[in-house]
Structure 1
């Protein structure tokens, strides 16, 4: 009898141990499942957030192009400046209308002035002697973006006070690539990568389509 009781007790111990092991396994499986679901759920959440941000940026960019394109075409028909160049410069110079100069003062092209009554003194970066430096410059203040666009067009047409022919090559260009190169060589911007940036913007957003019928 004592031997039988020991055997029965041993079987009971094994059953308890087996149940304990099973419970531990279930708990571990549950933890792994929660981790897997959380991990892939988080990845999906991050992916969704990134996709949403991309869509929002694309919508913002499309809205900006739709905003300035019609007037750029009108100015192109009146003055001969390629609309793709006008739109691309507005995008680059104003950071899609988000820069302080654009959002607060409607200056989409970084156009400077001298009259304190219609300019604002702001910090800007310029590339000189092989490096970027920060300077203070006076920039024109406009009542709306169309006024800024027209002033930009007139600058290209009429040149500067010291050189009326300064942007003649831009006006004579028959396509956006030549015009972008001319902007750089004619001294519109100090950024050594200005031409390539303008060309990339035009190509990425298919701004060439707005040049149809111009010149």
Structure 2
């Protein structure tokens, strides 16, 4: 019994030592993470600029590496440094532009293990920081529902990209806009997330609703009705491929959310206008994508593992 008791005490002691070590180790890393002087919009702009319409870079990864290189600070980071970091992510593979995984980039930059851990901590902190900004901005209880909706359709949006070439950020942003995060009557009663109408060539089930065209014109229209949200997302990709105007306007050649959003507007996906008669559909999609950092999902699907 004494021997067993000693073994139990030894095991407990080892566990306590490990817990203590991990606590102080993580405390040390977290203490060195400095979020002062962070300008999220600037890093989003830089990621878009560096990608140069060829690929969609992840602004959080670029920002995290820049901060670690800058002695754990976002203060006075030169745009030339940020650009150099961003370009390290871009490669050509079989004639196409692709993105290197974060791990490979950090190895190319000769980061040691401590620096690598700090980069991952920064990325985690950046996600939490953006979430806090969203909470302050919205000042309501809907954020939880909105994030659940995004996560719910994320994987199907990625599948659509692999099948049809529509970026996940675009699919998700359109679903958000057209269905109000799945809360619209059309999405609830018809599982139609994208406001796709049932034209004369459509042979499936449909449902009738009033809808707004242009700035303030209300009309009655028939919309496609689906058995499930998954079916709606799949049909969204097929709809864009089958209708030649989207290809003609460069939707499938575009590699970034900004260029695909503009292609959708140019092809006439929506008639949305402001009070001056100016088209605003692309701008709304772009704003939504940046608000929830949906463009970073595009970066994932464009990464060459």
TM-score scaled by length of structure 2: 0.49
| 2:139 match: secondary structure | helix
Written as runs of structure 1 = structure 2, the 5 A alignment for 1:144-155 is 144-155=228-239
5+ residue gaps in structure 1? 1-49, 160-164
| Matching residue within 214, 227, 245 for 1:166 | 245
1:36-86 CA-partner distances (Å, limit 9, x unpaired): xxxxxxxxxxxxxx98x8362111111010011111011111221101000
- C-alpha distance in structure 1 between counterparts of 2:245 and 2:302, whole Å: 21
Match of 2:89 in 1: none
| Matching residue within 81, 88, 94 for 2:179 | 94
- C-alpha distance in structure 2 between counterparts of 1:69 and 1:206, whole Å: 13
Following TM superposition, by how much is the alpha carbon of 1:213 offset from its aligned partner in structure 2, in angstroms?
A: 2.5
| Matching residue within 210, 213, 219 for 1:135 | 219
Q: Report the number of matched residues.
A: 157
1:81-127 CA-partner distances (Å, limit 9, x unpaired): 10100000000000111110011110000001146861111100101
Written as runs of structure 1 = structure 2, the 5 A alignment for 1:58-137 is 58-114=143-199, 118-127=205-214, 131-137=215-221
- C-alpha distance in structure 1 between counterparts of 2:153 and 2:301, whole Å: 18
Does the CA-based 8 Å contact 1:82-1:214 persist in structure 2? no
| 2:251 match: secondary structure | helix
Q: CA RMSD in A?
A: 2.0
Q: CA 1:95–1:126 in 2, change beyond 3 Å: closer, same or farther?
A: same
| 4+ aligned runs moved over 3 Å, structure 1 | 114-117
Match of 1:193 in 2: 280
- C-alpha distance in structure 1 between counterparts of 2:270 and 2:148, whole Å: 26
**Higher helix content, 1 or 2:** 1
| 2:260 match: secondary structure | helix
1:144-187 CA-partner distances (Å, limit 9, x unpaired): 1110111111111121xxxxx21111111110000011111011
**Which entry has the higher C-alpha Rg, 1 or 2?**
1
- C-alpha distance in structure 1 between counterparts of 2:285 and 2:204, whole Å: 32
5+ residue gaps in structure 2? 1-134, 273-278
Following TM superposition, by how much is the alpha carbon of 1:143 offset from its aligned partner in structure 2, in angstroms?
A: 0.5
- C-alpha distance in structure 2 between counterparts of 1:68 and 1:116, whole Å: 25
Does the CA-based 8 Å contact 1:71-1:146 persist in structure 2? yes
- C-alpha distance in structure 2 between counterparts of 1:210 and 1:157, whole Å: 21
Does the CA-based 8 Å contact 1:126-1:134 persist in structure 2? yes
Q: CA 1:125–1:62 in 2, change beyond 3 Å: closer, same or farther?
A: same
Match of 1:56 in 2: 141
- C-alpha distance in structure 1 between counterparts of 2:146 and 2:263, whole Å: 26
